[in-house]
Chain A
Amino acid sequence: MIRKLNNKGMTAIEILVTFVIIAIIVVSLYDGIVGLKEKETISSSKLSLSTYKNLLTKDIQDDLIKTGILGVSTSAMEGNIGYRVTFTLRDGSTRILDVKQVFGCNALDLEEAEQLCGQRGISYDQSDDFMISYGPPGNLVDYPLPDLGHEDIENYGTGDTGTHRIYALRINEVNISTANQIFSLRITFTHPDLGSRYSIDIVSPINYP
């Protein structure tokens, strides 16, 4: 028996439609994968920041809750680079919390550097320098902020050809209050993808029996 083969092939319109469908599927898959990758990066950043916040909050709250605060004083760190909070606990011991907040020059060209940094007195080659330290006097433990991305920017206007570093995660604001015998501390972080929703919040009564 001679079998008759179908040698007609596909028409141009069939091939065209097939290519269009495949192209649509590939483009939608690509968008989806890129979106998932971005979500994964953001989730990873959230997790790192939450872990950091939980660790620091727990270490401070453990002292404040277990022992209790007798008194709190706040001062500027030497060189005016941040805040120092000194806790006197009910057992007579002392704990110190340092929040170092030095903003680097986040400018992409000389003109921007003059506007953003020059007017605020920030050196054009200044890197970000944020650090939270906590512990008894003379034995402070550093809690460096997690590196959730950074950019090395060329120095401008100093003749220096080096770079300085600007981090994606920065300490945006520090609020300390002792009004009404309640100590409250809020250290707010800012990040391009996470906004400024993340903060370290410590609230504790002062000399509450």
Chain B
Amino acid sequence: MKKNNKGFVLVETLVVTVFVAAVFSVIYINFYPLVGEYERREFYDDIDSKYGAYWIKVFAQRASYDMSRVSSDLASQKYSVFSCSNLSDSDDRSFCEAMWGRLHVKQALLTEYELTNLKSVNSSTLATSLGESFVSYIEYLPNYTTASLNAARYRILVEFERTGDSMEDDDTYYTYSTMEVVK
């Protein structure tokens, strides 16, 4: 049998090179969003958001917070928008409003402790009222199916609107955190 010792011609080499380049491009295109996702999650449950959420939780736990509205909201839409105006005590309300501004809270939600019902709501419906970033955070969270050690029945989810370098005009970013509410 005659052995083929000719090796590769230039065209063959080029075809293989183009093929390998195409494979690398596909890998890069698929991998790059994962890097973005990782960088985005840097802003989930950071220490400032955690302590910020703690104070919103404190106000939600106050006896003067109107829970009848929360119950009806949870039954109809699976979440209730937290508002300082739902605090009937004037001291609580004024502290809450002052902290709300100083902590740069954009919005806060009261939900059931377990998030299964909230997550069952169509995400595009949620995104319309809460924004896509907030919905991404909700999807990122576990369902919390194990009962709370503190017998918490509710949960608070908070979105903070922060600014970074004052030198840049468009440098607003959002951070998120959650805490259980013992009520």
Residue positions of A touching B, CB distance < 8 A? 3, 5-6, 13-14, 17-18, 21, 53-54, 57-58, 61, 65, 177, 180-182, 184, 195-197, 201, 203-205, 208-209
Contact = CB atoms under 8 A, between A and B. Distances in A.
* 7 A-B pairs with least C-beta separation: A197-B164, A180-B98, A195-B165, A6-B5, A182-B98, A54-B47, A201-B48
Contacts of A3: 3
A57 B17 CA distance: 53
Nearest to A13: B10
30 contacts: A6-B7, A13-B10, A14-B10, A17-B10, A17-B13, A21-B17, A54-B47, A57-B47, A57-B48, A57-B51, A58-B47, A65-B54, A180-B94, A181-B95, A182-B102, A184-B102, A195-B165, A196-B166, A196-B167, A197-B164, A197-B171, A203-B51, A203-B52, A203-B55, A203-B99, A203-B103, A205-B55, A205-B95, A205-B98, A205-B99
Summarize B's interface: helix, strand, loop or mixed. Answer: helix
Contacts of B99: 182, 203, 205
Contacts of A53: 47
Interface of B: 3, 5-7, 10, 13-14, 17, 47-48, 51-52, 54-55, 91, 94-95, 98-99, 102-103, 164-167, 171, 173
B70 to A, nearest CB: 22
B48 to A, nearest CB: 5
B102 A197 contact: no
Contacts of A58: 47
Contacts of B17: 21
Contacts of B166: 196
A53 B46 CA distance: 11
